[in-house]
Structure 1
Amino acid sequence: MTVHFHEEDLPAGVLADGPVAVDTETMGLVTPRDRLCVVQISDGQGDEHLIRFKVGSNYDAPNLKAALADPQRLKIYHFARFDLAAIEYYLGVTAAPVFCTKIASKLTRTYTDRHGLKNLVEELLGGSISKQQQSSDWGAPELNDAQRDYAASDVRYLHRLRDVFVERLARENRTELAQACYDFLPTRAKLDIAGWGDHDIFSHM
């Protein structure tokens, strides 16, 4: 297992075919205001790639964009709604098709309200991850080892979690429902960017 750090783009040819796990780190939770700083991506073969974008970046990352926009390559996220919005707004691509482990968890782990990645890794995989760096300064001139390890851990387990949730969704007869949610997520992200993040447009009021 190796964590690879890249500036401004993913090197060509480093990802194997098949699904990739994806995550993002930003300066905050308001997408148009809080710039995209890091994109993490892994093909599930044991390595994680961190692509850092500096202040003033034009986000011209053709290799990364090609992987994210590939309609034949599944992207696995935890809370895809946020990551899709950041990628759409800053990189200008729709990073679909989607599998979201947070949605899968909410549809299958109805016995709990704890759906964070840390909770899933502990319960379903018997592992442990630290969230200590979650609120650190991702726009700093240099990212320290703790930040890099944290960022890598956010994609390290997603392939294995997807395998678990594929089985659980099938067991609970909720696979089609989950897929409909995943298919809507790129549109949900666009609504967030456009200003409807806190509004339920399907409600009566």
Structure 2
Amino acid sequence: MAVHFHEEDLPAGVLADGPIAVDTETMGLITHRDRLCVVQISDGNGDEHLVRFGPESTYDAPNLKAVLGDPDRLKLYHFARFDLAAIEHYLGVEAGPVFCTKIASKLTRTYTDRHGLKNLVEELLGESLSKQQQSSDWGGPELNEAQREYAASDVRYLHRLREELLRRLEREGRLEIAQACFDFLPTRAKLDMAGWADHDIFSHA
């Protein structure tokens, strides 16, 4: 297992075929204001790749865009809604199709309101996940080892979580509705970027 660090693009040919786990680190939670700093990717075979973008980046990352925009490659996220918006806004690609472990958790783990990645990893996989660097400065000139490990850990477990959550969705008869939610997520991200982030357009109000 190794964490590979890259500047401005993903090298060609470093990922195996099949689903990839994806996550992002930004300067904050407002997509238009808070720039994309890091994209993390893992093919589930033990290595994680971190792609860092500097403050003056033009986000011209053809290899990364090709992978993220591949409509035949499933992308695994935890809270895909945010990552999809950041990727589309800064990299200009719709990074689907999607499997979101947070949505899958909410549809299956109805016995709890704790659906964070740390909670899922601990309960479903029996692993410990540190969130100490969650609020650190991702836009600095260097990423320290703690930041790199944190970023890598956010994609490290998503393949295994998907396997377990798929079993639970099938067991509870909720796989079809989950898939419909996943299919809608790129549109949900577009609604967020268009100004409807805090309003439920399906509500009566």
TM-score band by shorter chain is over 0.9
| Structure 1 segments unaligned to the other structure (5+ residues) | none
CA distance in 2, matches of 1:9, 1:108: 36
What amino acid is the match of 2:164? V
Q: CA shift at 1:204, angstroms?
A: 1.5
Letter in 2 for 1:128: S
In the TM superposition, what is the alpha-carbon distance from 1:203 to its structure 2 partner? 1.2
Aligned to 2:17: 17
Q: Provide the residue aligned with 2:108 in structure 1.
A: 108
Hey, what's the Cα distance between the residues in 1 that align with 2:152 and 2:35?
A: 19
- What is the aligned partner in structure 1 of residue 130 from structure 2? 130
Residue 87 of structure 2 is matched in structure 1 by: 87
Q: Distance in 2 between matches of 1:192 and 1:134?
A: 22
What does the per-residue CA deviation read over 1:54-84, in whole Å, with 9 as the maximum and x for residues that have no partner?
A: 0010000000000000010000000000000
Identity %: 83
**1:201 equivalenced with 2:201 (yes/no):** yes
Q: Which runs of 5+ in 2 are unaligned?
A: none
Q: Deviations over 1:120-161 (max 9, x none)?
A: 000000000100000000000000000000000000000000
1:38-49 → structure 2 map (5 Å cutoff): 38-49=38-49
What's the counterpart of residue 141 of structure 2? Answer: 141
* Distance in structure 1 (CA, Å) of the matches to 2:161 and 2:204: 36
- Specify the code of the residue in structure 2 equivalent to 1:33: R
Amino acid at match of 2:203: S
TM-score by length of 1: 1.00
* Residue type at the aligned position of 2:178: A
Q: Deviations over 1:29-53 (max 9, x none)?
A: 0000000000000000000000000
In 1: Cα distance, 2:192 partner to 2:141 partner: 29
Show the counterpart of 2:170: 170
| Residue 115 of structure 2 is aligned to residue 121 of structure 1 | no
- Return the alpha-carbon distance in structure 2 between the equivalents of residues 188 and 111 of structure 1: 26
- Give the distance between the partners of 2:93 and 2:65, measured in 1 at CA: 7
Aligned to 2:97: 97
User: Which residue does 1:59 correspond to in 2?
Assistant: 59
Write the distance in 1 (CA, Å) between the matches of 2:155 and 2:45: 11
SS at 1:82 equivalent? helix
CA distance in 1, matches of 2:8, 2:16: 20
One-letter amino acid matched to 2:156: R
